[in-house]
Amino acid sequence: MTKDSKIVQKIKNVPDSTLSIVMTVKNEEKFLLNALKSVKRIANEYIIVDQGSTDNTVKIIKKFAKTFKGEVKLFIRPNNKDFEIDDHDFRVKQATKEWIFMLDADEMMGRNFTAKMPILMKHKVYSSYFFPRYWLNSYKPTNYVVSFDKIWSPEHNQQFNVIFPDYQMRFFRNVPGLTFKGTIHQTYQGIHFPLAYINDVHIFHFKYLLKNRQDREKQVKQLEKISPSRGAKDFYLYEDRAYSVYSCEEKLAIKVKLNDKSTI
């Protein structure tokens, strides 16, 4: 019996919990609607912080809100940075539901998300969950990059193994005292333990498909200015390392559609 199966067996006659989806966006018109729709069936509210988009991002959010039965709370907070600590703290503090799931605008969930999340929310022991994030280089089929490498972290004065897929703690109980820490890849202080790793619900990351090599190189330079020790090039320039490609059994939650005539 798998660990996930044991979790399911322990849950009986527990009332349904509620879920807030929290996002920070800026100029995400091309893919944003896919992210929003991929979690729509299980979401009770969306908390979205827009950092000053100049494209159709805000229009897309407002149009989506008209089709959603719950509440979409949109906050316009322009700033001169792509990664603003205060915005990440702010968005979580606006969430009113029992659980919080953090989703990026260039990500979407798979079909297992809707079925599995109510089960996880009913569990009386676990308060936070990690999910594998698959960096796709194709979505027909859902092929993802698998890579193993070592990077040197001056901040910690030691080597760290970088493994794709990477696990992300994105789902946790909404409890008082949650505080954001970090810049590029946010983590929260105040998360209650114990936590669990879930292997059959995947975060599908579309960075490699939405941005060509040149665009990703520009983003790496930007990220390295913000946090030099994070090894941005190891994440975004996967072609520079030895890698393999595997196919994921889980299908995407919805059919991917872009907000322009381009293809990925």
Question: How does pLDDT run across 167-222, given as a tens digit for each residue?
Answer: 998 999 998 777 666 555 555 665 666 889 999 999 999 999 999 999 999 988 88
Taking the CB of residue 143, how many other CB atoms lie within 10 A of it?
15
Contact assessment for residue 204 and residue 252, using Cβ atoms and an 8 Å cutoff: yes
Question: How does pLDDT run across 49-94, given as a tens digit for each residue?
Answer: 999 999 999 999 999 999 999 999 999 998 755 555 567 778 888 9
Give the whole-angstrom CA distance, residue 132 versus residue 203: 6
**CATH C-level class of 3-247:** alpha beta
Choose among 28, 190, 161, 40: nearest CA to 101. Answer: 40
Query: Would you kindly state where each structural domain of the chain is located, as residue ranges?
Result: 3-247
pTM: 0.84
- What does the DSSP 8-state code read for residue 176? T
Strands 99-102 and 179-181: unpaired
Strand segments, DSSP code E, in 154-253 are 158-164, 166-173, 179-181, 187-189, 195-197, 203-205, 243-247
User: Residue 88: what pLDDT?
Assistant: 73
User: Residue 13: what pLDDT?
Assistant: 43
